[in-house]
Amino acid sequence: MEVGDDWVPCFPEFPNITCWIPPPALAETLLIDITLYSISVLTASLNLLIIISVSHFRQLYTPTNILLLSLAVSDFLVGLLVMPVETLQTAHCWFFGHLLCSLHRFVSNITNSASVVNMVLISVDRYVAICDPLHYTTRITVNRVRVCVCLLWFCSVVYNSYYFNLHLNQQEEDIYYCYGYCGSLADNTAADLQLVLNFIVPVTTIIVLYTRVFVVAVSQARAMRSHITAVTKQSSVTKTAKKSELKAARTLGVLVVVFLMCFMPNYFVTFGGHESMSLSTQYFIMYLYFFNSCLNPVVYALFYPWFRRTVKHIVTLQILQPGSCEANIL
């Protein structure tokens, strides 16, 4: 990256190895910081509402909602811990040392892995519910999903502990492009493994499962249309069937497109192609990646009617009343 004549060093006492940043424009920097911190607060708040809702109301103790709860926990941690630190180093120097940089990358990797695997489990849950509905209640139980969620977080911590150890033990000059920047591992093998396990495998799985769900949902809608047409007016049934097909296509399309829209650009930048991009473009793509944690509760929860009811109970403090956990919110 080319350094301008008016840029300032992070560590003036080390002019040859320090990072250089553009001169701070107070108004512009303040606006960027307020915007990004606001997104962080919004992300944490929306996901906290989901955590409280699913944890408090007994009617929401379902396998699907437990997966939503796990997803909300990972996205809550992104909004609470990861995004504020990334915002801090976006337009500022990193002054917190190698250990805190490694810890930050460790937490960021855990939440990323957990979020991606949660989406895979949600896609599996929807696949069984649509493609094998007769065996859904016996195959997908609350206890089994709880075990899967616990294993998910345990494996995520163990898996990323390996990278944390590598990051912590590497020399700073191998991690930092310059002093004043918190970078990632300078290990091509580790980076390739992360690309496969955190992106290629889960994305491929999600696309395959949701494509199958979409095909089955459309075929079921058409079969229902053909069956009912024999005993009802064809025009009204055709309209209903078309609406069902469009609703299935729209819902599945939103789930897949939002996920890919937020995740794919970041991996393209991280694993090649960032050299030709401006710094502002790289920052935009990075925060688009994090913004997925803010969009998840919108995509997965705000479309559920129960969410609006639970938010009302939470905001009006009705959940503090005795027996509120038994309230009818479905």
Whether 226 is covered by a domain: the verdict is yes
Range of the domain at 196: 8-326
Whether 244 is covered by a domain: the verdict is yes
Whether 3 is covered by a domain: the verdict is no
Give dist(CA 54, CA 57) in Å, integer.
Answer: 6
Whether 2 is covered by a domain: the verdict is no
Question: pTM value?
Answer: 0.84
Would you say 301 and 48 are in contact if contact means Cβ atoms under 8 Å apart?
Answer: no
What pLDDT, in 10s, does the model give residues 89-131?
776 788 888 888 889 989 999 998 998 899 899 889 888 888 8
What pLDDT, in 10s, does the model give residues 156-201?
999 999 889 888 887 655 555 677 888 776 666 777 788 888 888 9
Number of structural domains (the chain) is: 1
Range 168-173 contact pairs with CB under 8 angstroms and sequence separation of 24 or more: 168/98, 168/99, 168/102, 172/98, 173/17
Whether 152 is covered by a domain: the verdict is yes
Which CATH number belongs to the domain containing residue 130 in this structure? 1.20.1070.10
C-alpha dihedral sign at 67, 73, 79, 82? negative
Q: What are phi and psi of 23, to 5 degrees?
A: -60, 135
Whether 221 is covered by a domain: the verdict is yes
pLDDT at 273: 54
Whether 138 is covered by a domain: the verdict is yes
Whether 1 is covered by a domain: the verdict is no
